[in-house]
Structure 1
Amino acid sequence: MANGMGSLYIGASGLQNSQNALNTTANNLANADTKGYVRQQVLFADRDYVTFQSAAISKQQAGLGLAIADVIHTRDYFLDRYYRTENGRQSFYETNYLAVQDVENIFQELEGEQFQTQLEEFWKSFAELSKGPNTEVNQNLVVKNATLFIERAQGVYQNMKEYQKRINIKIREGVDRINELGHTIQNLNKEIMRIESGGVETAMTLRDERDNALDELSSLAKVEFREDANGAVRVRLENVEFLDEVHVFEIGIRQDDVTGFVTPYWPRLSDLSRGKYADVFDFDVDIAPELNSDIGELKALVLSRGDRFATYRDIAGLSADEYNDGAGMSVMLSAEAEFDQFIHEVITAVNDVLSPTKTISFTGADGTPYNNVRVWDEDKGCLGADGQKPGRELFVRRGCDRYREVADNQVPPNIYYVYNEEDSPDTFKMYTIQNVDVNPDLLETESGMPHLNPDGTPAWDMAQQLVDIWEAKKYISNPNDTNPCNFKEYYKKMIVDIGTNGNVYKSMAEDLEAEVASIENSRQQVFGVSSDEELQNMIKYQSAYNAASRFINVISEMLEHLVTRL
């Protein structure tokens, strides 16, 4: 009788645990399409045995049935780490590629055809001028196309600046999202530790949410993580402790007063009273996969935006290494610098023909020495119809005249027009896209553009020089360029270089996208839900449930027979 009643408990345990296994299987099927869900697997084990001491030869044992030993929440630590590293790397190159795409769009359709057309029109106006430099119609055509040329160039440059500002907004949002994910993971850590502290229950749903948060965090920045024995996850971000069991060390942002650009930094590692900031991203380290320095969307955004609005001074006079470690690292800075250099070269080449200079030395009337300074070359310089000296330039700097008038110490004094050099750190003294306009005197004064030689004859040679400067092969787009080109080729080469960089980023992003997908497939094989497999388990557990039910029925009939018959 005792063995019979004990058998009922065995059958009941089979019913109960088969039902629990069915519930687990149903939960897996219900969440088959839930992002980040980790399948739950039931492990069965025998319950304890009861041993009866007997005078017979051997002991007797009676089992107590079945128990669920554990419900496994399976993940592969190494696959997770591999996935998160490559996911961050793919986000880095994808972000840079999108930035290149937007730069190409800024230069307009068909790889800059619209600006290229305006450039051609500007060149043709000089070709027309060479046919009749003293013709007012030809002079006005030059001024008109110069106005359209500089307006179009300023429009392109302004669009690049606006795009930098849009990236700046994304950087701010990225920092906010990282801090938000940090607090989310910390709160999940607390809940997981609270639930699992008794050693009975596993907080599976919360662990899934935490793993999803870590996956998203890995796309934004380089992360390293480890789980403590108490179930809490610690995270290092860009090689710095980001969160532990208790704290979230938030990323701060500092804003530049001039550009409005924000830069992520670590407040707890900075000395704000002394103006010392510990930046989150170290761009002194080369960007390379082997250094793991090419990871994270936020880093790509900061890098592609740059820290300023670039000009030709970010290229001029620099070696290839200096350029590559500076503006050359950034999609936006390199595009702005090369474009500004192109406009600068066109402007200065045209101005130097219309208002040429020579180098001399003299002593000023106040005793100031002027050694090897550039002055207007009166012998070669041409004049407008009004005879104004010095000859007018086509493009002017806002707030800075081309020349300043200086008298020497001779009697009577000689008057020199000393060129105001661009070597000042102040941008108002530079011929940059942002700081130039077409000379307003040429818009107001009829035939004010230099077109007459000192003897009053038409300046045919000068007009031809204006045509020739477009064919001179002496310009390079950046210090890495070793093949000098002319103005017509420069712009095309610049656009091709941008497209080439874009193709490199695109190729890397696509390769990494396939790799990330492959890793994700491997992860899914570990923790993903297979509908076919779960249906097989459902049939198995249903059969086990039916068998346990039948087992109980048989024991019940046997007991009934024993009770009623005996």
Structure 2
Amino acid sequence: MANGMGSLYIGASGLQNSQNALNTTANNLANADTKGYVRQQVLFADRSYVTFKSAAISKQQAGLGLAIADVVHTRDMFLDKYYRRENGRQAFYEANYLAVQDVEDIFQELEGMQYQNVLEDFWDSFEELSKGPNEEVNQNLVVQKATLFIERSQGIYQNMKEYQKRINIKIREGIDRINELGHTIQELNQEIMRIESGGIETAMTLRDERDNALDELSALAKIDVREDVNGAVRVRLENVEFLDEVHVFEIGTITDEITGFVTPIWPQLSDMARGKYTPMFDYNVDISPELNTDIGQLKALVLTRGEKIGNYRDVTGVSADKYNNGAGMSVMVSAEAELDQMIHEIITAINDVFSPTTTASFTATDGTRYTDVRVWDEENACLGQDGEKPGRELFTRRGCDRYTAVTEQGTGKIYYVYNEEDPQDTSKMYTTQGVTVNHDLLEIESGLPHLDKNGDPDWDLAHKLVNLWEEKKYTVNANDTNPCSFKEYYQRMINGIGAKGDVFGGLATDLEGEVASIENSRQQVFGVSSDEELQNMIKYQSAYNAASRFINVISEMLEHLVTRL
């Protein structure tokens, strides 16, 4: 009787554990398509054995049934680390590639060559002027095409500035999301430690949620993850402690008062009261896969946007090292600077033909000494039909006139001193946003300089304007050592942007395939296979049925013993 009743408990253990295994399998099947879900595997073990008798070669023992030793929650930490690193690297190059695509769209309007056509039309207007510089229709054509040229250039430049603002919004959102994920992971740390502190239960669902959060975080920034013995994870973000089981060190921001651009910083490492900030990203280290400095979407967005709005001074006269460590690091700043350089060179070259300068030294009536200053070259200059001095420039700065009239002491001669560009005030520079077509030329007929000092049409001036477009003395940036003409500059600039896009796009595509391959390897470790789970379900159901039949046999035997004997 005792053995019979004990056998019932052995059968009951089979029923119970088979049922639990079926429940685990059903849970796996229900979450087969759940992102980040880790397959739960049942590991069976024998319960204790009771020894009845010992012999020389073996023991006589009776088992007490079946037990679930563990429900295995398996992950490969090496694959996780590999996946998160390459996931962040793919996000870095993807963000750069999308930025280059958008810049190309701004310039070329997807398929068009409209801006190239504007440049060609502007050049053609000077060709027409060279056929008859004294004809008003040709002069009006130059003014008209100049207006179209500057308006179109300003439109492109403004679109790039607006795109920088959109990137800035993405940066804010990225920072907020990183901080939010940090708090999510920290809260999950607390829950996991509370549940697993007894050493009996594994917080599987919470661990899955935490791993999902870490995977998402890895796409936004470079992370290093380490799990403590208590089940909590510590995360270092860009080589700085970001969170532990107790604290989250949020990313802070500082905002530029002029541009509105935000820069991510580490508040805990900064002296906010003294205005000394520790940036989140260290740009003194080269961006390269070998150094693992090309990881994270947020870093790519900050680099792409840049820290300022570019102009020609970021390119013109700058060494290759300074360019590569400055404007060249940013897709947007380099594109803005290279465009602005082209506009600046075209404008100043044309203005110097219409209103040429020379150098002079003299003393003004107020005693000011001028030494080797640029002044209007009256001897070689042309005038408009109205004879206005000095000769008008085609493009004017919004912040100042081209010349200031200064009277020489003693002789009374008037010098028209050129107002040099002020790098501290963009309105006094010939930048894309700081210039406009001379309003006098829009109002005064034949106001464009075209008559020499004898009052005759100056054919040489017209030919100089045409030849400007063919002179090969301009470079797109410091890395471009092959001089080009105005006609070639724009296409070379676009080709350079396209080359960046090809590099970023190729790397992003290759890394996308690599990330997918790593994810497939991870799924082989913890992913749910419906076919395999169905096989397990059949196996556990058969075990359940066998335990049920076993109990039925024992029950019938006990009934026979009780009622028949």
Partner of 2:516: 517
Partner of 1:444: 443
Give the partner amino acid of 1:496.
N
Q: Return closer, same or farther for 1:112/1:430 CA change in 2, 3 Å cut-off.
A: farther
Q: Alpha-carbon deviations, 1:206-248, whole Å to 9, x = none?
A: 1111111101000001111111111111111111111111111
Q: Distance in 1 between matches of 2:454 and 2:319?
A: 45
Q: Distance in 2 between matches of 1:419 and 1:159?
A: 32
Q: Distance in 2 between matches of 1:85 and 1:59?
A: 55
Q: Distance in 1 between matches of 2:55 and 2:124?
A: 119
Cα displacement (A) at 1:366 = 3.2
What is the TM-score of this pair, normalised by structure 2? Answer: 0.98
Q: Distance in 2 between matches of 1:134 and 1:531?
A: 85
Partner of 1:210: 210
Q: Alpha-carbon deviations, 1:259-310, whole Å to 9, x = none?
A: 1111111111111111111111112211111111111111111110011110
Tell me whether 109-118 or 31-40 shows the greater mean CA deviation. 109-118
Q: Distance in 2 between matches of 1:473 and 1:399?
A: 31
Matches for 1:370-389 after TM superposition, within 5 Å: 370-389=370-389
Is 2:413 aligned against 1:414?
A: yes
Partner of 2:33: 33
Give the partner amino acid of 1:6.
G
Partner of 2:97: 97
Q: Identity, % of aligned pairs?
A: 78
Partner of 1:148: 148
Partner of 1:225: 225
Q: Return closer, same or farther for 1:486/1:546 CA change in 2, 3 Å cut-off.
A: same
SS at match of 1:289: coil
Partner of 1:291: 291
Partner of 1:483: 482
Q: Distance in 1 between matches of 2:124 and 2:37?
A: 65
Partner of 2:128: 128
Q: Return closer, same or farther for 1:109/1:58 CA change in 2, 3 Å cut-off.
A: closer
Q: Distance in 2 between matches of 1:380 and 1:268?
A: 65
Q: Distance in 2 between matches of 1:157 and 1:30?
A: 53
Partner of 1:429: 428
Matches for 1:223-302 after TM superposition, within 5 Å: 223-302=223-302
Q: Distance in 2 between matches of 1:111 and 1:89?
A: 30
Cα displacement (A) at 1:407 = 2.3
Q: Distance in 2 between matches of 1:111 and 1:499?
A: 13
Cα displacement (A) at 1:2 = 2.0
Cα displacement (A) at 1:113 = 0.5
Q: Does the Cα contact within 8 Å between 1:218 and 1:296 map onto a contact in 2?
A: yes
Cα displacement (A) at 1:164 = 0.4
Partner of 1:469: 468
Q: Structure 1: 5+ residue runs without aligned partners?
A: none
Q: Distance in 2 between matches of 1:216 and 1:55?
A: 61
Q: Structure 2: 5+ residue runs without aligned partners?
A: none
Cα displacement (A) at 1:112 = 5.4
Q: Alpha-carbon deviations, 1:13-42, whole Å to 9, x = none?
A: 111101100110111011100111100000
SS at match of 2:455: coil
Cα displacement (A) at 1:491 = 0.4
What is the TM-score of this pair, normalised by structure 1? Answer: 0.98
Q: Return closer, same or farther for 1:107/1:278 CA change in 2, 3 Å cut-off.
A: same
Partner of 2:558: 559
Q: Return closer, same or farther for 1:126/1:14 CA change in 2, 3 Å cut-off.
A: same
Q: Distance in 1 between matches of 2:92 and 2:55?
A: 77
Q: Distance in 2 between matches of 1:273 and 1:196?
A: 43
Matches for 1:537-548 after TM superposition, within 5 Å: 537-548=536-547
SS at match of 1:16: helix
Q: Return closer, same or farther for 1:423/1:56 CA change in 2, 3 Å cut-off.
A: closer
Q: Does the Cα contact within 8 Å between 1:11 and 1:552 map onto a contact in 2?
A: yes
Partner of 2:63: 63
CA RMSD of aligned residues (A): 1.4
Q: Return closer, same or farther for 1:326/1:551 CA change in 2, 3 Å cut-off.
A: same
Q: Does the Cα contact within 8 Å between 1:234 and 1:244 map onto a contact in 2?
A: yes
Give the partner amino acid of 1:281.
F
SS at match of 1:434: coil
Q: Distance in 2 between matches of 1:110 and 1:26?
A: 51
Give the partner amino acid of 2:547.
A
Q: Return closer, same or farther for 1:108/1:20 CA change in 2, 3 Å cut-off.
A: same
